[in-house]
Amino acid sequence: MRTIKGPAIFLAQFADDAAPFNALPTIARWAARHGYKGVQIPSWDARLFDLKRAAESQDYCDEVRGILAEAGLELTELSTHLQGQLVAVHPAYDLAFDGFAAQAVRGNPAARQAWAVEQMRLAARASRRLGLTAHATFSGALAWPYLYPWPQRPAGLIETAFDELAHRWRPILDAFDEAGVDVCYEIHPGEDLFDGASFEMFLERVDDHPRCNILYDPSHFVLQQLDYLAFIDIYHQRIRAFHAKDAEFNPTGRQGVYSGYAPWAGRAGRFRSLGDGQVDFRTIFSKLSQYGFSGWAVLEWECCIKDSEQGAAEGAPFIASRIIEVASRAFDDFAASGADEAMNRAMLGIVR
């Protein structure tokens, strides 16, 4: 068993053009004032981080770590959620996702994909220079428009999609392996890796690649009505990153899981600020600790009701109060009577 590190905070939802959220030194001090000990940095946000420079310059990486250390923080992971999404984009989403890419490759799906793959390679090198062991990302999706089989899907459609997804990601996984960094896919609706079964389909196609791992976020499982506690029991060996994000699911006679046409506040399933939803975090922290998860508990704030500043302020103490300092000795050591092989044999009635 190991003690989870934290609390930490994902900066993506807080970065802004206004101070203190527009530069790494100031947003780091803001996070530290709220009680956070680590930050997860969105690698696409030039206000906070220069991914290409980090991949090429150890001096720059040392500068980034120094800025965080001055605020009393550590870097937990880099995130390439937006770039990872672009590794695989179904044509139906070309226009919607084009804004995630560099201006020069927009409107050109092939160039956009090549740019995304290079971004992932840069992230592998940058993570190594920064001394990181895990990386947060999305898988992208080719099959997502065909999630519900109506009209009936042609035979082999999903298999072909996952074959191609694995083909695109295998060289990236190899690059991260060379860097000594785990790729942690956030299991997330909208991605082809959206539940345990789909993750297994992908994992099989990349030959159980040791760098193919999971960013565990229970909120997405609440909205799917998937057993997020049993998920830890099944996949704990592959869980290498953790987003602490809350959610609730309140079905009515009018809507249930498929209530995505409603605005967030009106959906049966919706994300909530940490502590305001239905996620059983005490059991999650217990299970992750039991299975030896030694990474960071990272707040990802998304809520359609509560203000982000209040959510950030409440998030650090919420996480801190649930981190378990794992036991250094057995609770019943006081009753130990001592033993040796002869005593054990005698107690069992073994006479030979």
pTM (2 decimals)?
0.94
Instruction: Give residue 347's pLDDT.
Output: 85
Residues 6+ apart with CB under 8 A from 320: 6, 7, 35
**How many domains does the chain divide into?**
1
Phi first, then psi, for residue 11 (nearest 5°) are -85, -10
| Measured torsion, CA atoms of residues 181, 185, 186, 192, in degrees rounded to the nearest 10 | 170
Instruction: Give residue 330's pLDDT.
Output: 66
Instruction: Give residue 326's pLDDT.
Output: 85
Other beta carbons within 10 angstroms of residue 283's beta carbon come to 13
Question: What token pair was written down for 59?
Answer: 């001096």
Digit-coded pLDDT (tens) for 179-201? 999 999 999 999 999 999 999 99
> What is the residue range of 152's domain?
5-348
Instruction: Answer yes or no: are the C-beta atoms of 275 and 314 closer than 8 Å.
Output: yes
Instruction: Give residue 332's pLDDT.
Output: 63
Instruction: Give residue 106's pLDDT.
Output: 98
Instruction: Give residue 335's pLDDT.
Output: 60
CATH (domain of 246): 3.20.20.150
Which residues of the chain are under the pLDDT cut of 70? Answer: 330-337
Instruction: Detail the DSSP E strand segments found in 219-328.
Output: 239-244, 246-249, 269-272, 296-299
Instruction: Give residue 352's pLDDT.
Output: 76
